[in-house]
Chains A and B, each alone.
Chain A
Amino acid sequence: MIDLEPLWLTAKLALITTIILLTVSIPLCYWLAYSKFKFKAAVEAIVSLPLVLPPSVLGFYLLLAFSPKNTFGKFLDQYFDAHLVFTFEGLIIASVLYSLPFMVHPIQSGLKNLPISLKEAAFTLGKSKFTTLTKILLPNIKSSILTGIVLTFAHTVGEFGVVLMIGGSIPGETKVMSIAIYDEVQSMNYYTANVYAAILFSFTFLILLGVYLLNNSFSKTNPLND
């Protein structure tokens, strides 16, 4: 019988990561798209780092940071009773950092591609930044938001290096699909590895197919994508 726990764990991790990133990214993207802050380029570089950094590097630094032997880890342990190494919570934080550019980039470029006059028109009609964002800007970049959500979800499902470094392979806690496949191959259980891999493969393909179908129908109705 195939153990389906890694599948649920992966889905849970990807879902929570996506929700957190969506909440964090919208204000961050608004700031990145419109701020005239001098050191914005530095912030943009940091956001994009996980794209080029080997996952093991990020995982290694997080492992050091979260370790109860070091200052930050000790602080978390003492004041919040939080243990982030080899736990599901630690995986969430690592995933959020690791998938950050996949949520930020589409939303940021969506906002940048909107004519600036839409925002200004809303302001001249007496609307606050918040109302302008929720009622005008975000509804006009639906396809960018959807792209961000799906890329983040899919990327979190597919992560391996960071999870291995910070989470290891604890069943029910940190053993997600990608790790499970690796474990099964290590123990020569090719059949189980095959099933896991096939599930992951078809799931990822279906998600991407869905996005492209939806995005094509969005661009048919949205004049901004002409």
Chain B
Amino acid sequence: MINFYTHKMLQTADGKLPLDVSFTVEKGQFLSIYGNSGAGKTTILRILAGLTEAEKVDIEVENEVWDNSQKKYHLPVQKRSIGFVFQDFALFPNLTVKENLEFALQKNDTPHIVAELIELMELQSLQNSKPQNLSGGQKQRVALARAIVRKPKILLLDEPLSALDDEMRFKLQDYIIKIHQHYQLTTLMISHTIAEIFKLSDKVIILDKGKIVKEGTPSSVFSEEKISSKFKLTGEIISISKSDIVYVVQVLSGNNIVKVIATEDEIKDFRIGQKVLVASKAFNPIIQVIS
């Protein structure tokens, strides 16, 4: 279990902002931190890792004190049982994939774990490559594997998937789940994607301007404001064609073409190239012109 409390003045683009946060994470839990940029998310992970100092800080991990500003106690980052995956991956350019992993071995560790992780993360064919020859997704897998070599208690992921395309993102989410379960980690992840948070985490905290504004399970936290019985998308009419007694209106939204049925009365107002809103309440889609 992690008990975390901190108070720190952050220097942001809009001036000073007090970060004042307190939360607990159960052992084995997967916690996501969600919030606008500049809300202090990365700072929380860095304080927990011991990379950033704060004016007031009190961190206890499984009954072991990591930080206590009152008693002026600070456990150095090297002694904390953490794996940290940085936003820019931070792979060592002078070492191969395998050497990057081996670098993380401690004095009396057996190199067995490196082979295991290379297999688990499917890095066999890449193990002798240098990081600069890898794609974003591959770098991410190496960074994740390297963070686990020490078998840490806590895995910290700083927006690990933000730089990847959707397909890669889904694959890597599966790797993260695999790692989280296989090594029985307590994981803290910063994420901007609600879908990702739903898929991966047990608990989420929403951070706004340095304060926690909501916390709980993803469905309880997001359902109130983000989920409604209505979906809507905006787009542009690209064609209107008659089909039997109704009309088919094709609407381009992003890269998707949506076909919507409309009556003769309705299409009187529609012109090709018009911006429209397509919305649906439960079953029937409504199509509406945006002025």
Q: Do A and B come from one complex?
A: yes
Complex Cα distance, B80 from A126, in Å, reads 8
Measured CA separation A122–B100 after assembly (Å)? 10
Q: Nearest chain A CB to B45's CB is how many angstroms away? A: 11
Task: Let me know if A69 is at the binding interface, CB within 8 A.
Answer: no
Whether A121 touches B106, Cβ cut-off 8 Å, given contacts A126-B78, A127-B78, A223-B132, is no
Tell me whether B88 and A115 are in contact (CB under 8 A): yes
Point out the residues of chain A lying under 8 angstroms from B77, CB to CB. 120, 123-124
Asked if B86 contacts A128 (CB within 8 A), the reply is no
Instruction: Give the contact stretch, choosing among B11-19, B27-35, B89-97, B115-123.
Output: B89-97
Q: Could you say which of A120, A135, A136 contacts B86, with CB atoms under 8 Å apart?
A: A120
Q: Which residues of B contact A139 (CB under 8 A)?
A: 94
Q: Which residue of B lies closest to A128 (CB)?
A: B78
- Chain B: CB-nearest residue to A118: B90
Shortest beta-carbon distance from A134 to chain B in Å:
11
Among A115, A120, A121, A222, max chain B CB count under 10 A is at A121
B150 in complex: contacting residue of A115, A120, A126, CB < 8 Å: A126
Give chain A's interface secondary structure class. helix
The answer to whether A117 and B93 have CB atoms under 8 Å apart is no
B230 CB, nearest partner CB in chain A, Å = 43
- Are B78 and A120 neighbours in the complex by a CB distance under 8 Å? no
Q: Report chain B residues within 8 Å CB of A117.
A: 86-88, 90
Check A222 against B93 for contact (C-beta < 8 Å): yes
Q: What is the bound-complex CA distance between A65 and B6, given in angstroms?
A: 53
Given contacts A115-B88, A223-B132, contact A126 B106 (CB under 8 A): yes
B4 at the A interface (CB under 8 A): no
Q: A2 to chain B: which residues have CB within 8 Å?
A: none
- Please indicate which of the listed interface residues B49, B77, B82, B83 has the most CB atoms of chain A within 10 Å of its own CB: B77
A124 touches B149 (CB 8 A): no
Task: Give the distance to chain B from A156, nearest Cβ to Cβ, in Å.
Answer: 29
- Are B86 and A121 in touch, CB under 8 angstroms? yes
Chain B residues with Cβ under 8 A from A48's Cβ? none
Q: Complex formed: what's the CA distance from A124 to B143 in Å?
A: 12
Residues of A within 8 A of B87 (CB): 117
- Residues of the A chain whose Cβ atoms lie less than 8 Å from the Cβ of B149: 125
Partner of A136, one of B84, B92, B146, B150: B92
Instruction: Contacts A124-B77, A125-B103, A135-B103 given; indicate if A223 touches B93 (C-beta within 8 A).
Output: yes
In the assembled complex, the CB of A11 is this many whole angstroms from the nearest CB of chain B, namely 31
CB-nearest residue of chain A to B133: A223
Shortest distance from the beta carbon of A128 to any chain B beta carbon, whole Å? 7
Q: Say yes or no for A140: interface residue by CB 8 A criterion.
A: yes
Contact B103–A124 (Cβ < 8 Å): no
On chain B, the residues within 8 Å of A136 by CB distance are: 92, 94, 103
Cβ contacts B55-85/A at 8 Å (1 or 0 each): 0000000000000000000000111101110
Specify which chain B residues have a CB less than 8 angstroms from the CB of A128 in the assembled complex. 78
B286 at the interface (CB under 8 A from A): no
Q: Chain B residues with Cβ under 8 A from A222's Cβ?
A: 93
Chain A residues near B150: list those with CB within 8 A.
125-126
Chain A residue contacts of B94, Cβ below 8 A: 136, 139-140
5 additional contacts (CB under 8 A) given A117-B87, A124-B84, A136-B92: A115-B88, A121-B84, A124-B77, A140-B93, A223-B131
- Where the two chains meet, the residues of B that have a C-beta atom closer than 8 Å to any C-beta of A are 49, 51, 77-80, 82-84, 86-88, 90, 92-94, 103-104, 106, 131-132, 146-147, 149-150
Could you list 20 A-B pairs, sorted by A, with CB under 8 Å?
A115-B90, A117-B87, A118-B92, A120-B77, A121-B84, A121-B90, A122-B92, A123-B77, A124-B80, A124-B83, A125-B146, A125-B149, A125-B150, A126-B79, A126-B104, A127-B78, A136-B92, A136-B103, A139-B94, A223-B132
Q: Closest 4 interchain pairs by CB?
A: A223-B132, A117-B90, A121-B90, A139-B94
